Chain A
Amino acid sequence: MSSDAPNASEHVFEHTEMLLNMGPQHPSTHGVLRVLLKLDGETVVDLDCDIGYLHRGVEKICEHDTYPMITPYFDRLDYVAAINGDLVYVEAVERLMGVEVPRKAQYLRVILAELQRITSHLLWLATHALDIGAATIFLYTFREREEILKIIENFIGARLTTHAFRIGGFEWDANPEFERDVRAFLDMFPGRIDEYETILSENRIWLARTVGIGVLSAENAIDIGLTGPVLRASGVKYDVRRAAPYSTYPEFDFEIPIGETGDTYDRYLVRMQEMRQSIRIVQQALDGLPEGDVMAARVPRVIKPPAGEVFHTNESPKGEIGVYLVSDGTNTPYRLRVRPPCFVNLQALKQLAIGHLMADVVALIGTVDIVLGEVDR
């Protein structure tokens, strides 16, 4: 702006970009994510995620622990969907050992996993709505989540980091009230989803904040390697429960909801639909719950899988969670590697956010649904 500037007017209207540090202590980065934003006014010009604040070296720790001791660590990857994390690990070990899990245990696992999927989606909805400013949804969803946690707590003995499964089945059979409690929940829950949708789905402010925000085409989503609801919202019908079925999922009748445009609103709709589908699965599993044992008979006290390797994937609430396990025949794995859906999905954030306003970044972090325990491992 000084007089010796060659073209004063050009100088005045030059882009001035501001670097804004969002997190790791920020109310809506969902944990310890640090996002560096380059802003032009409030428009995001560039964005960089800085992760690792919650890195614990789980994969390395696992190399020193025996197979049963690793399960609790999988609770702590995606700590809001601990049961889904447990499931993929115990199934991987069972595949490696060739253990046949009793059908009752398989059904119970499906019920718990789907209930946990509902809790995870409820928590996502709670925080996503809170980020966009609808504070009340938060408390409503937490009430329903609490009901599921009570069911899990009565069955397993813990609420959040459950350590639900053992290699080969369950430690305990379901508690006597389990079926009654789950049925009571299933009766109540659909009405509650309707309530959330009454408040949000047609709300013009919600629409203004989500429609057309962070549009991701199917090609783009596949290129980045996204999985889970984020991918399905872009219109790709890929769900591990159907694409590479595990446990007893082929026996259940459910649909895979997909989106159309791949914007934030689609991701919202897909997750709301998934909760309804989870209810259907739980209902069918309860109706067809077989009798019998919940622990496989052939599981030795000291677990030493034969030398070999296995890559097993599951559909966790966030996406496709995979475990790559190499055994050298001893009682500890030679190598364990986790394919975390959150880490991969987070990579989409940059593409989603550029060109939007800073307020949208908050909504977009919510919509990819990350849990930092899994991103950082």
Chain B
Amino acid sequence: MNRAWGNFAQRRKGATVSSIVRPGLVSFAVSLFLCVFDAPLREVAAQTQTQAPPPPPSPVVPTWSPVELIESLGVSHGFAEYVVLPAIQFAVLLAAILTAVAYLVYLERKVAAFIQARLGPMRVGPVGLLQPLADGLKLLAKEDLVPQGADRLVFLFAPVIAITAALGLLVLVPFGAAWGTVTDINIGLLFLLAVASVGVFGIVLAGWASNSKYALMGAMRSSAQLVSYEVAVGMALIGPLLFARSLSMQEIVEAQRFTGLWFVVLQPLAFAIYFIGSLAETNRAPFDLPEAESELVAGFHVEYSGFRWAIFFMAEYTNIIITSAIAVTVFLGGWSFPGLETAVSWIAGTDPSTPLYSVVFTLATLGVFTVKVALLIYVVMWIRWTLPRYRYDQLMDLGWKWLIPVSLANILITALAFLLAMRPDQGGVFGLLEVTKNGLWIGWTGTAWFIAVNIATFTVAAWLLKKLNRTSWTTDIDALRRAEAQKRAGRLATATERGAR
């Protein structure tokens, strides 16, 4: 107790009052400036404002749906729309995702192999393509071991929680336009984040029920990691949501399609934070502490074998798919792609009500989404096989002292910039963007404005981080090393003293 408190007190002493007060003062000054000069600014803006061009017409989304096909078989409309179609969709989705997970493992092994000057699986089937099947069969055939002293019920049930939370989320992911998605609810993103964090219960319970110290430590690390990165991830998503003006996954995609800009352009910082946070949330390197092989052997699933272990594995990969899918939806335009509608119209004509158009369009969007998610997953794998692993305390540092302050600054500045950029009659100043019924319209002036704002955000974030992280913020490696060595020598002296006593 003494040591922990002592460290904390020391650190508090290190931070001067000004470093805490100054950011507050600056934001206060900014808001004061806005209050006082609000009216004159608006006048200036009203004079200089150029007339915004009318928003472009909304792009064409197919109106035909397979519900009509099911209805023609003699099923009532409600039953077809709310029971039969979703059931079919979910069955197809489940089969596709489970296959995808199996082949993600294969892909990961291949990606790792190519990075590491190896070949990867080559023996089972042509270029090892049947390897996932062989692995799955092997795991199914293995004995389902429950360690002595484990809490049997919890131990057996934990993987089920993990996989349920992961697979249940799939219904909300907008894999494609129209009927390419199972369902779309108006709190989609919130629901996704909420249910995704249930998955950690599986990990914590698995670690606890195993009655093993390594598993317990893995579980503890996992829960701490998830809790702290959930905050950063959630706040990073607020930035783009200001532009999307909706929590529904489909509407977020539509907003980007309508605006003609992927939100990664408007919110690069938020994307970076989300990406780093999602790596941590899915326990991927460089944040794979809960299952750090070289430290905790296998972490929370060290006592699991056979198919229960495989379930954890599947849950992990499903989570990677889902977090990548969220990133694609919110930041990278989801299933939309510039020129997609034109390409579809070459094949299927321009009438959005024909079944052919509907099928072609939906399949095209599914393809676009898959490619985007695959690329993002490749980046995740690429990072995993290149970078070393952070330590537990450094991970917490990164979460609380780097990502969360930056995401807060990002929200604040983006919101301010958004407010300033709105049309005067809608409550803004400059009139660089327009809130229309279909979504947000941002002209090139608006884009330029937000890019400028991003650069400003970046500067502010850098300044903030420098203030917050006086010790770890240094670009001079040698100085850092001398400081660390001194600190260590002091700590060792204390420890020796304690030992002598």
Residue in A18, A211, A262 whose CB lies within 8 Å of B477: A211
> With an 8 A cutoff between CB atoms, is A359 at the interface?
yes
B465 to chain A, nearest CB (A): 13
Interface centre among B214, B390, B485 (most CB of A within 10 A): B485
On chain B, the residues within 8 Å of A133 by CB distance are 285-286, 288, 292, 294, 387-389
Verify B391–A212 contact, CB threshold 8 A. Answer: no
Complex: how many Å from CA A18 to CA B220? 14
Complex: how many Å from CA A262 to CA B484? 11
Residue in B213, B391, B491, B492 whose CB lies within 8 Å of A208: B391
Verify B386–A199 contact, CB threshold 8 A. Answer: yes
Complex: how many Å from CA A27 to CA B484? 28
Verify B489–A203 contact, CB threshold 8 A. Answer: no
Complex: how many Å from CA A161 to CA B356? 70
Complex: how many Å from CA A205 to CA B397? 13
Residue in B116, B389, B480, B484 whose CB lies within 8 Å of A139: B116
Chain B 475-490, CB-CB to A under 8 Å as 1, else 0, gives 0010011111101110
Residue in A15, A134, A138, A212 whose CB lies within 8 Å of B485: A212
On chain A, the residues within 8 Å of B285 by CB distance are 133
On chain B, the residues within 8 Å of A310 by CB distance are none
- A359 in contact with B387 given A131-B294, A139-B116, A263-B485 (CB within 8 Å): no
On chain B, the residues within 8 Å of A129 by CB distance are 388
On chain B, the residues within 8 Å of A202 by CB distance are 477
> With an 8 A cutoff between CB atoms, is A215 at the interface?
yes
Complex: how many Å from CA A138 to CA B118? 12
Verify B492–A215 contact, CB threshold 8 A. Answer: yes
Residue of B nearest to A18 (CB): B213
A370 to chain B, nearest CB (A): 15
> With an 8 A cutoff between CB atoms, is B293 at the interface?
yes
A224 to chain B, nearest CB (A): 14
On chain A, the residues within 8 Å of B394 by CB distance are 208-209
9-residue interface stretch from A84-92, A113-121, A149-157, A350-358? A350-358
On chain B, the residues within 8 Å of A134 by CB distance are 386-389
Chain B 1-41, CB-CB to A under 8 Å as 1, else 0, gives 10000000000000000000000000000000000000000
Chain A 1-23, CB-CB to B under 8 Å as 1, else 0, gives 00000000000011100101000
B113 to chain A, nearest CB (A): 9
> With an 8 A cutoff between CB atoms, is A132 at the interface?
yes
Complex: how many Å from CA A360 to CA B389? 11
Chain A 183-196, CB-CB to B under 8 Å as 1, else 0, gives 00000000000000
Complex: how many Å from CA A202 to CA B387? 12
Complex: how many Å from CA A207 to CA B491? 20
Verify A132–B485 contact, CB threshold 8 A. Answer: no
> With an 8 A cutoff between CB atoms, is B145 at the interface?
no
Verify A260–B481 contact, CB threshold 8 A. Answer: yes
Residue of A nearest to B489 (CB): A215
Report A105-140 residues with CB < 8 Å from chain B CB.
129-136, 138-140
Complex: how many Å from CA A136 to CA B1? 40
Verify A27–B488 contact, CB threshold 8 A. Answer: no
Complex: how many Å from CA A214 to CA B112? 31
On chain B, the residues within 8 Å of A357 by CB distance are 391-393
Residue of B nearest to A133 (CB): B389
On chain A, the residues within 8 Å of B118 by CB distance are 139
Report A358-372 residues with CB < 8 Å from chain B CB.
358-360, 362
> With an 8 A cutoff between CB atoms, is B115 at the interface?
yes
Give chain B's interface secondary structure class.
Answer: helix
Verify A263–B388 contact, CB threshold 8 A. Answer: no
Chain B 106-121, CB-CB to A under 8 Å as 1, else 0, gives 0000001001111000
Verify A358–B489 contact, CB threshold 8 A. Answer: no
Interface residue tally on B, bucketed by range: 35 or more
Interface centre among B115, B286, B297, B491 (most CB of A within 10 A): B286
Residue of B nearest to A20 (CB): B213
On chain A, the residues within 8 Å of B351 by CB distance are none
Complex: how many Å from CA A207 to CA B390? 10
Residue in B116, B217, B289, B293 whose CB lies within 8 Å of A136: B116
Verify B488–A205 contact, CB threshold 8 A. Answer: no
On chain B, the residues within 8 Å of A354 by CB distance are 492, 495
Complex: how many Å from CA A266 to CA B392? 22
> With an 8 A cutoff between CB atoms, is B135 at the interface?
no
On chain A, the residues within 8 Å of B388 by CB distance are 129, 132-134, 200, 203, 205-206, 209
Complex: how many Å from CA A320 to CA B118? 36
> With an 8 A cutoff between CB atoms, is B295 at the interface?
yes
> With an 8 A cutoff between CB atoms, is A277 at the interface?
no
On chain A, the residues within 8 Å of B117 by CB distance are 139-140, 143
A232 to chain B, nearest CB (A): 16
Report A239-279 residues with CB < 8 Å from chain B CB.
260-263, 265-266
Complex: how many Å from CA A217 to CA B214? 33
> With an 8 A cutoff between CB atoms, is A26 at the interface?
yes
Residue of B nearest to A15 (CB): B1
Residue of A nearest to B288 (CB): A133
B438 to chain A, nearest CB (A): 44
- A205 in contact with B492 given A27-B293, A212-B485 (CB within 8 Å): no
> With an 8 A cutoff between CB atoms, is B90 at the interface?
no
Residue of B nearest to A212 (CB): B484
> With an 8 A cutoff between CB atoms, is A28 at the interface?
yes
Verify B213–A26 contact, CB threshold 8 A. Answer: no
Complex: how many Å from CA A308 to CA B485? 47
On chain A, the residues within 8 Å of B481 by CB distance are 211-212, 260-261, 263, 265-266
> With an 8 A cutoff between CB atoms, is A42 at the interface?
yes
B498 to chain A, nearest CB (A): 9
Verify B294–A362 contact, CB threshold 8 A. Answer: yes
A181 to chain B, nearest CB (A): 20
Residue of A nearest to B214 (CB): A20
Verify A132–B491 contact, CB threshold 8 A. Answer: no
On chain A, the residues within 8 Å of B391 by CB distance are 208-209, 357, 359-360
Residue in B294, B484, B485, B495 whose CB lies within 8 Å of A355: B495
On chain A, the residues within 8 Å of B213 by CB distance are 18, 20
Q: Told that A13-B1, A203-B387 touch, could you supply 10 new A-B pairs with CB distance under 8 A?
A: A18-B213, A132-B294, A133-B285, A136-B112, A136-B115, A139-B117, A205-B388, A211-B484, A357-B392, A358-B217
Which 9 A-B residue pairs are closest in the complex by CB-CB distance?
A212-B484, A133-B389, A139-B116, A261-B485, A28-B294, A215-B488, A134-B388, A13-B1, A133-B388
Interchain Cβ contacts under 8 Å between A and B, 29 examples: A15-B1, A27-B293, A28-B295, A129-B388, A133-B292, A133-B387, A133-B388, A133-B389, A134-B388, A135-B112, A136-B385, A138-B116, A139-B117, A200-B388, A202-B477, A208-B390, A211-B481, A211-B484, A212-B488, A261-B481, A261-B482, A265-B481, A351-B492, A355-B495, A357-B393, A358-B295, A359-B289, A359-B392, A362-B294
Name B residues whose Cβ lies closer than 8 Å to a Cβ of A: 1, 112, 115-118, 213-214, 217, 285-286, 288-289, 292-295, 297, 385-394, 477, 480-485, 487-489, 491-492, 495
